[in-house]
């Protein structure tokens, strides 16, 4: 680190510098607090699947060999909890790099072709109907293509996990912004929980998202990426009717 040399400063200038330093220290403190909170939340979230794995493997050790039903149930549970831990750790790594590089790799992105590519990949992976709605004119934004792709995958992946029907994706534009909507016709989110789904690790119903292998991290990552693009992300949802996620991305 460079040594800071201060000379020939007026009292006012020194006071201003002190204020700036204080603000920097405050911000550093807040960042450390956030990191500590994250480590504690993450450890807590990892503990639950690990406990399940441990108790099922102990059951398998004690009684699994004599009982096919027990061993099938145990293996299934261990497999699905291990998959969740794997997803979670992948997301942690993604978050760590995303936060380190809070800078976007901005270039011209053709949303129409990006969306077609995502549609193709997800349709094959999930065997679900994903419809794209947009006019022929390409919509171009200055954005980080990989990060926008990550957001779209998170949103469509959620729509698939929490519904059984088709998914509709709408793309539109005006002079300044691109507008994206991901709609599903699934279980929806209770009104009082909508604001909380953007929190790290928050899941509306732990049991239902355990079934679908959720980590509670997707939407918080999506929100962070959209914020970096100076855009907006909003959710409208009705229980047992479906969910609409709206994005506004400045062009």
Binding site for ligand ADP (CB under 6 A): 154, 158-159, 161-162, 184, 186-189, 197, 202-204, 209, 214-220, 243
Minimum distance of ligand ADP from residue 234's CB (angstroms)? 13
| Distance (Å, whole) CA 76 – CA 56 | 10
Identify which of residues 173 and 209 has a Cβ nearer to ligand ADP in the complex.
209
| Distance (Å, whole) CA 142 – CA 151 | 15
Minimum distance of ligand ADP from residue 208's CB (angstroms)? 7
Identify which of residues 173 and 215 has a Cβ nearer to ligand ADP in the complex.
215
Identify which of residues 173 and 223 has a Cβ nearer to ligand ADP in the complex.
223
Minimum distance of ligand ADP from residue 74's CB (angstroms)? 24
* Strand, coil or helix: 232: strand
Which residue in the block uniquely carries the two structure tokens 């060999």?
65
Element (H, E) at 235: strand 232-238
Sheet containing 232-238: order of strands: 130-133, 167-173, 177-184, 242-250, 232-238
Minimum distance of ligand ADP from residue 189's CB (angstroms)? 5
| Distance (Å, whole) CA 64 – CA 10 | 79
Minimum distance of ligand ADP from residue 224's CB (angstroms)? 11
| Residue facing ligand ADP at closest CB distance | 214
C-alpha closest to that of 152 among 115, 110, 124: 115
Identify which of residues 94 and 108 has a Cβ nearer to ligand ADP in the complex.
94
Identify which of residues 44 and 62 has a Cβ nearer to ligand ADP in the complex.
44
Residues pairing with 181 in the sheet: 170, 246
| Distance (Å, whole) CA 87 – CA 79 | 12
Identify which of residues 163 and 173 has a Cβ nearer to ligand ADP in the complex.
163
Minimum distance of ligand ADP from residue 28's CB (angstroms)? 28
Residue 132 near residue 171 (C-beta atoms within 8 A): yes
């Amino acid at each position: 680190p460079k040594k800071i040399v201060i000379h020939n400063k007026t009292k006012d200038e020194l006071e201003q510098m002190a204020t700036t330093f204080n603000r920097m220290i405050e911000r550093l403190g807040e960042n450390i607090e956030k990191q500590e909170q994250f480590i504690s939340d993450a450890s807590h979230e990892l503990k639950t699947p690990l406990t399940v794995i441990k108790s099922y493997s102990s059951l398998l050790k004690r009684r699994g060999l004599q009982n096919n039903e027990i061993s099938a149930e145990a293996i299934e549970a261990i497999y699905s909890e291990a998959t969740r831990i794997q997803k979670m750790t992948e997301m942690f790594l993604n978050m760590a790099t995303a936060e380190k590089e809070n800078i976007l790799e901005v270039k011209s992105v053709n949303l129409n072709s990006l969306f077609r590519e995502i549609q193709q990949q997800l349709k094959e992976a999930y065997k679900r109907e994903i419809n794209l709605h947009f006019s022929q004119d390409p919509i171009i934004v200055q954005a980080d293509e990989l990060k926008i792709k990550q957001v779209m995958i998170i949103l469509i992946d959620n729509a698939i996990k929490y519904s059984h029907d088709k998914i509709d994706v709408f793309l539109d534009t005006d002079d300044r912004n691109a507008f994206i909507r991901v709609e599903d016709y699934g279980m929806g989110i209770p009104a009082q929980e909508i604001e909380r789904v953007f929190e790290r690790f928050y899941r509306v119903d732990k049991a239902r998202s355990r079934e679908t292998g959720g980590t509670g991290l997707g939407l918080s990552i999506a929100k962070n990426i959209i914020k970096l693009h100076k855009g907006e992300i909003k959710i409208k949802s009705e229980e047992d009717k479906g969910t609409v996620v709206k994005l506004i991305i400045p062009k």
